[in-house]
Amino acid sequence: MLLPSHAARPDGAQPTLDAQQLGKEYRLYDSPVQRLLSLLSNRRNYRSHWALQGVTFQLRRGQCLGLIGDNGAGKSTLLKLLAGTLQPSCGTLARHGRVTAILELGAGFHPDFTGRQNLYFGGSLIGIDAAQMRTLEASIIAFSELGDAMDRPIKTYSSGMVVRLAFALVTALEPQVLIIDEALAVGDQHFQKKCVERIEAFRNNGCTILFCSHSLYHVQRLCDQALWLHLGQMRALGPTPEVVAAYEAHVRLQEQAEAPPPDAGPEAPRPAPNAAHIEAVLLDDILQPDANAAHGTCGRLDSPHLRMTVRARTPEGVQPHIGLLIEQVDGVGVTSVATHFDGTQPHQDSTGAWVATVTFPDIPLHTGQYKVSAYLFDNKGLVVYDEWKDCQRFSQVFAQSTPGIVRLPHQWS
């Protein structure tokens, strides 16, 4: 368990978020009568459920902390405590500077008010007065791209339109502390990209960010520290790569316990959406099993080299990046590559499709079965436009039967 101490920094900078032994208890009563009797008699007629216990961490200016964990781990409870919408049952919490929380986008809007009226109504709830809103109104509307819809009642909006307006409103002023709960999972691809760019700009300007997401890719890209909550308690806190690796190992164990029969093949790719999408993932030099092979047998790599090609489509003028992940079939990661990490980019063929091919020469994988996942990113490698998980499988036969996953270059002396 990675739980480093929080010694003061040499520069003596004051934490913008300082949580010490935070806990939240919910009292569960068997009936309303039991609740009333407990209040009248001062007797304990309830069962305690601690949604959160003993959470301690500090964040300073410019730091970004990723919050990860299973459903029911206490992440939402912690975010609400940090945002001030819940009060802790024990522990202390200090916040310094303007705090903006992106939790339930659009929850404070009135359905009968127009979008423009809701700017002033919702703005007053987060501390933006009418005079200040008048100076921000044009930029908020421009970011939301709602145009004439601003003068229609919110109840006529689609859920995506509500999200656009809400995000534009709550991020209209740059905060000192930004608390985000799954903000990158909403809206269309174009708006997700705008959200990511605004969040990244805040971070670059020194905003302190607490970022909660099930997307471990975004946690690793945006966060320098990570906190793993499990059943309401801190399981790990430390550098993002170490904490994410520990959490991924935990997830693999869960998935193995719930795994389908071993002859299950890769998932069929989802139908291509109208927006940016992966069109095909191709593996060259794979010898398909014959009719007498065991059911579920992977095609065998029939070459010393592994070559994979991804084809994708995007709207005109959108330059994407492409990534690939190789894992053992039980989910143990082997390697991942992406064009933006390697300083290259896909090229367009005569049909307008974006194409990227990666070759692993003299692939050193030991004997086993492996699966491939493909990812389509935006031009900065932050937004995931599309993903095909477990879309191809292959088997490798290594000349020698030795333990491990790969044979690394080495020398004896």
Output the pLDDT for position 264.
57
Question: Burial, 264: exposed, middle or buried (Cβ in 10 Å; 0-12, 13-18, 19+)?
Answer: exposed
Please give the Cα distance from 339 to 402 (Å, whole number).
32
Output the pLDDT for position 321.
96
Name the CATH superfamily for 17-255.
P-loop containing nucleotide triphosphate hydrolases (3.40.50.300)
Find all residues with CB under 8 Å of 292, minimum gap 6, and list them: none
Output the pLDDT for position 3.
58
Q: Rounded to 5 degrees, what angle do the CA atoms 149, 155, 157 make?
A: 40
pTM of structure: 0.79
Output the pLDDT for position 7.
39
- Site of tokens 């050193």: 364
CB 359 within 8 Å of CB 305 = yes
Output the pLDDT for position 290.
55
Output the pLDDT for position 267.
66
Please give the Cα distance from 326 to 316 (Å, whole number).
30
Q: Which CATH architecture has domain 277-396?
A: Distorted Sandwich (2.70)
Output the pLDDT for position 8.
39
Output the pLDDT for position 163.
84
Output the pLDDT for position 135.
94
Please give the Cα distance from 145 to 165 (Å, whole number).
9
Output the pLDDT for position 174.
87
- Site of tokens 């309830």: 46
Output the pLDDT for position 184.
60
DSSP string, 59-124: E-TT-EEEEE--TTSSHHHHHHHHHTSS--SEEEEEE-S-EEEESSTTTT--TTSBHHHHHHHHHH
What residue segments make up the domains of the chain, in order of their start?
Answer: 17-255, 277-396
Side chain identity at 247, as an amino acid letter?
Y
Local mean pLDDT, 10-residue blocks, the chain (413 residues): 46 79 87 72 76 93 93 92 91 88 76 93 87 94 92 90 88 88 70 85 90 88 93 94 90 76 63 80 78 62 89 92 93 91 94 94 88 93 90 84 80 87
